[in-house]
Structure 1
Amino acid sequence: MVEAQEKKPDPATVIGGMVFAVLLLDAEGCIAETNHAAEMLLGKSEKRLLGQSLAEVVELIDERVIDHLAQPDASLVARDIRLFVDGQEHRVNLTISPLTAYPGWRVVTLSDSGRDDAAREQEGEAASLGAPAILAHEIRNPLAAIRGAAQLVARKLEPAERHLARMITDEVDRIARLIDRMQQLGRSTPEKLGPTNLHEAIRSAIATVRAAGNEGIEIVEEFDPSLPPVLANRDALEQVLINLLSNACDALRNSDTPEPQVSVRTRFVSGFAFSAVHFGRTVKLPIEITVTDNGPGIDEALRDHVFEPFITSKKSGQGLGLALVRKLVRDMQGRIAHERDTRLGLTHFRVHLAVANREKSA
């Protein structure tokens, strides 16, 4: 027993077990060794990666990274940079570490930029939403009194003046709906999770959005029928999809896009090891749902803040829809990201969920 405890895993085993990608580059800048996470990120086996330069398998955008890779002895720590793997954009944290004992050789690591900050971000979000949720609860009673008083006053007004009382009740109802959404954001107890048929939830959401009246906008399904059940809450997942589809339709309806189209695509992600940290353990998120529209996209100044409360580009928007979507996705142990493909003129919202374990899901 003592001998077993004293025996340490060798470096190759340690590197192989890491959840972020590790690549060893030789003096020529070619890949000499990888771990499993790197194979998942790049969508290729180590055998196919060996001997290729990093630029051959990853399209780098950040000039700092490109410049440092051209300098064999340069080290770098870069956060939240953009890169493309097989044409798909990812946000990652990157490090370059030269091996001084082996001139020109370097170790490159790549990790999903959302993983490191997830816990801290959620704590900050909970604190920022807790106070509005408490305030919303306190506003409810006065609102009900105002609405009741307006209804009583309406009975005593001349018919020509009753529209003023109706305006009061309509505004009270609007504020009440806003409060409902604020309370949803501040709720700390997530809904129960279990195996969920992904495509049934998507089709139900599409039917709801179509019934709301979005004539002239084509909604296309691109499903992988082989996908297993996901770990989710059916109602919450439908709400997420309804919000994303409705936002896409709103963007197209308010634009002059010649052939407005929204597509919903599902697939198993093999090219990138998406994961999140939940209760101290890594949760793999291989199931991807992408809602795409060919509208003008979100204002560039708002793109990095689309999931924050009270951020909106809509004239009559409240800025709570996408904040609620992010909370619901996180409650399902998933992740959501926004991307704008300027080359093709497409806006993508990607939701990543875990595969349901029928025995342990709860």
Structure 2
Amino acid sequence: MRTLPSSLLYSRDEELTSRFIRVASSITAIQQLEEQTELEQWFQQFGDTVLLADLRAPNCLDVLSMLRRERPTTIIIVIGTDRSDPMLAAELLEPFARTSFEPERRALQALLKQAIECQMLRQKTRILEEELTKLNARKSEQRPQPRSFFSAPLQNFSKAQRNFDNVDALFESVVEGLVATARVSRAGIFIQPDPQADYIFQAGTRCLAATEQLSIHPHDAFIRWLEMNTHLVSRKTLENIADPQERAMLKQMLDSLGGEIIIPIYAAGRIKGWIFVGQRSTGIPFEVADLEDLTGLADHISTTLEKAFQYEETALQKALAETVLHSIPFGIVACDEKATIRWFNSSAREILKPEETDIIGRRVETLGSRIADLFRRTIGNQTAHDVTEWTDNRTKLTVSAETRCLTDNAGCVGAMMMLRDITGAKLLQEKEEQLERASFWNELASSMSHEIRNPLVAIKTFSQMLPERYEDPDFRAEFSKEVNHEVDRLNQIVDKINEFANPPKPAFQPVDIRKPIEHAVTRIQNELDHDNLKIHLSADDSSLMVYGAPTSLEEGVYHLLKNAAENLANKPGSRVNVTVKGRSPDKQTGSIYLIITDNGSGIDESIRDKVFSPFSTIKARGLGLGLPIAKRAVIDHNGQIDIDTSSGGTTITILFPALEDEV
């Protein structure tokens, strides 16, 4: 990134300033100054530059005359009306060039380029002249032996480490310690707040106002020089720098800071900033030994600030983590390996409502015997404990707790408990269960009344006709047959409900799953005896052993096949395929798949999502208990059941764990 050279515009005309800055934006960075005192201070601090002088500015001719005497290398471009008295007077001072208030754009840009090049040449010439003067002086100079006037001991600087947890206060302490240690009249510190930000003034003593407003870009030549050379900059040692341009750049930086020495600060392997100091309070120049002492002091300052930055980052992360933990909607309590509470967030306080105000540092028994027991069992077993729920007698809240053991390489270092207030959820669950139970009994009553009403209607009809047709032997025979049939239907309905509500306890044993499936297929074929229905059973040659109850398995498969056959309704071409697949021979563990596929019209969309719910059916006769019984059989055997249905048929896939998995 290229840094543009700076130029000054001495004018109070805002419109003129805006126009010149816009035209020169790609050539130079123009800074406007409106007062003579500001202009003089700028030249004193930053040295010669290119000056555009508006002849209408206050005392402009006097300012130009002063610069002509004291700053002969300054490039001056006067701005005014051609052949006017001020312009004629300014020409007597022999400026570099002159221009009007509204110059042509290209002409002004070319003029500024020439002025900047001329200024750079004058600076190089001045540097060479200074070098020649120093070289001649060095030949005749007899150097005295260096003496150190660095009187304040280094341990005096230790007071800078106070306020270590406050970086801003630490900057002030560093400056104070530096002034006391080095006995200087001026000191300041520049820091880069963020890796991509500019270096800005942070703290200082008796620093210039312009210095406090100064900001240095990370790509500035001064920063690159510090990164390459990694040592302090002193006016006394500038002559040791070989490159004249680098020497001039460093001298200009010392002038802008009003300092004699610049000490770089390193943190995390990069330039974090620098400290600068002015002359000694006694006016005695710094010697080489003093610079060596300041180098050691700089290392001490860099170490202190680097630790402070690390502390600040750690404290920020800790504060952020605590804010997050306090904001989460469930409680967290943590204790050490001795069951002493070390952390307790706001949600945990709202849930447990402890009687003690200060919980940290107390034993876990402070939170109650139940929580203490969970913590101590977790620490003792060094394992996690499942979710535990209870209702607190004091707060009347229903609490859910789950514990985890905290470990490191040395073993258990404590335990953590996550708490949730589930009072509202429990009340909602109880209400939902009440509604579900009410809905269950409503559906049961509706289905039973529908099923029971049909036989009762038939019995009532025959009973009403009996007095009139009692003498008819055929009617009495039909009456006896139909009444017995309808009573049997009523008994079947009662038996089905009892069977669903009180299923027999399954007796589990190792069983080849093919046998109960074959029994179910034979049973459904004999029971329905549909001429158009074809049931095809196939099984592979792998091991099909499961740990299950043969009767329960047969009953579940029977209801699935019965449901499929009834939906097909003996239509021509009706077909049900029953496929049993086991694991491959090379695998010792796995699952067994039972797949039942029919070519019917699929499950009606109105009950598709609740086919396994009791009493869910679209049949004119039936309670809709077949599929719920089948699903219960699958769940009893730790299996899974899925249904895929469309207008082209329905496929039921059941997954059973193989015998080795269960064992």
TM-score (norm 2): 0.29
Q: Deviations over 1:23-64 (max 9, x none)?
A: xxxxxxxxxxxxxxxxxxxxxxxxxxxxxxxxxxxxxxxxxx
Contact 2:516–2:554 under 8 Å retained in 1: yes
1:220 match: secondary structure: strand
State the alpha-carbon separation in 1 of the partners of residues 601 and 636 from structure 2.
Answer: 30
- 1:221 correspondence with 2:537: yes
Structure 2 counterpart of 1:314 = 619
Indicate yes or no: 2:560 matched with 1:249. Answer: no
2:475 to 147, 161, 168: 161
- Per the TM alignment, residue 324 of structure 1 is displaced from its structure 2 partner at its CA by 1.9
1:291 equivalent to 2:596? Answer yes
Counterpart residue type for residue 178 of structure 1: I
- Unmatched 5+ residue regions in structure 1? 11-119, 137-142, 271-283
Matches for 1:126-145 after TM superposition, within 5 Å: 128=440
Q: State the superposition RMSD in angstroms.
A: 4.6
Partner of 1:264: 578
Equivalent pair of 2:581/2:594 in contact (CA under 8 Å): yes
- Following superposition, the deviation at residue 235 of structure 1 comes to 1.2
**Cα distance between partner residues in 2 of 1:346 and 1:241:** 18
Instruction: Kindly state the Cα deviation for residue 357 of structure 1 after the two structures are TM-superposed.
Output: 4.8
The one-letter amino acid paired with 1:299 is D
Q: Which amino acid aligns with 1:221?
A: L
Task: Give CA deviations for 1:198-222 in whole Å, capped at 9, x if unaligned.
Answer: 1122222222222231222222223
How has the CA–CA distance of structure 1 residues 228 and 269 changed in structure 2, closer, same or farther, with 3 Å as cutoff? Answer: closer
Greater RCO (Cα-Cα under 8 Å, separation 6 or more): 1
Once the two structures are TM-superposed, the CA of residue 292 in structure 1 deviates from its matched residue by 0.7
**Is the Cα contact below 8 Å between 1:227 and 1:267 reproduced in 2?**
no
2:607 to 295, 302, 312: 302
Whole-angstrom CA distance in 1 between matches of 2:473 and 2:480 = 11
CA distance in 2, matches of 1:239, 1:359: 21
Alignment of 1:179 with 2:484, yes or no, is no
After TM superposition, the score normalised by the length of structure 1 is 0.50
Residue 268 of structure 1 contacts residue 288 of structure 1 at CA under 8 Å; is this kept in 2?
Answer: yes
Tell me the distance in 1 between the aligned counterparts of 2:594 and 2:575.
16
Deviates more, 1:241-250 or 1:173-182: 241-250
What is the deviation of 1:166? 2.8
Shift of 1:325: 1.6
CA displacement at 1:165 relative to structure 2: 3.7
Alignment-derived partner of residue 191 in structure 1? 506
1:170–1:193 CA distance, 2 compared to 1 (3 A): same
Deviation at 1:352, TM superposition (A): 2.3
Q: Which amino acid aligns with 2:563?
A: N
Find out whether 1:233 has 2:549 as its counterpart: yes
- Structure with higher Rg: it is 2
Give the count of matched residue pairs. Answer: 224
Return the alpha-carbon distance in structure 2 between the equivalents of residues 9 and 171 of structure 1.
Answer: 73
Using the aligned pairs only, state the percent identity.
Answer: 27
User: Where do 5+ consecutive residues of structure 2 fail to align?
Assistant: 1-336, 338-378, 383-404, 410-431, 449-454
Give the deviation of 1:185 after TM superposition: 1.0
Q: Mark the CA change 1:359 to 1:292 in structure 2 (over 3 Å): closer, same or farther.
A: closer
Counterpart selection for 1:208 from 519, 523, 526: 523
Corresponding letter in the other structure for 1:355:
A
Match of 1:106 in 2: none
Distance between the aligned counterparts of 2:559 and 2:593, measured in 1? 17
| One-letter amino acid matched to 1:295 | G
CA distance in 2, matches of 1:285, 1:190: 26
- Show the counterpart of 1:67: none
For residues 317 and 189 of structure 1, do their structure 2 counterparts lie closer, same or farther at Cα, with a shift above 3 Å needed? closer
- Contact 2:543-2:583 at 8 Å conserved across structures: no
Deviation at 1:328, TM superposition (A): 2.5
**Alignment partner of 1:160: what SS?**
helix
Corresponding residue number in structure 2 for 1:348: 651
CA offset at residue 190 of structure 1?
Answer: 2.6
Q: Which amino acid aligns with 2:657?
A: A
